Amino acid sequence: MKRTFAIILAALAAIALFAGLVYVVLVVANVSEPAATTIHGLTPRRLWATVVAVLALVGVVIGGLALCRATRRIGNHGRRGAIAALVLGPIAVVNGALNLAVANGGPGTGNGVVGGAAAFVLGLIGMVLGGLALARPRRTTELAPGRTT
């Protein structure tokens, strides 16, 4: 019960941190003010931002799994995941930043600024996770001389 509560609390803290980081990115990009009239539906820029955010989320999941495998030291299986996260992360960061750069309004304008900011933050997280997984020392299968176990 205590472990479940701790996991739920950690997940809520992570969600709050993510939302705060997305808001900071929107403020820095000067697109945090909501639109006077809201555009509903899927626009091309919203689709672009959504696809990039999903790509970034895949990079975060792959990077997290690679980091988990690297800490368990199960051979070299986490290396490919770490490299994939390091490839997907910059793609998401660049596309998210580009989406924010060409946006001419805030949330609700149909420019996909929230998705672009989310892609930017998730891309950075994916790059960090992939880098940490790649930087973990690998366990060698060879034994030191004189050791039998």
Of 98, 90, 119, which Cα lies nearest the Cα of 21? 119
- Summarize the confidence of residues 94-107 as an average pLDDT: 88
- pLDDT digit string, tens, across residues 29-82: 877 787 777 778 888 888 999 999 999 999 999 988 888 875 555 555 578 888
Question: What pLDDT is attached to residue 123?
Answer: 93
pTM of the model: 0.78
Please provide the size of the chain in residues: 149
Domain map (residue ranges) of the chain: 2-135
Half-sphere exposure at residue 53, Cβ-oriented, CA atoms within 13 angstroms: 17
pLDDT tens-digit map of 107-139: 888 888 889 999 999 999 999 998 988 887 665
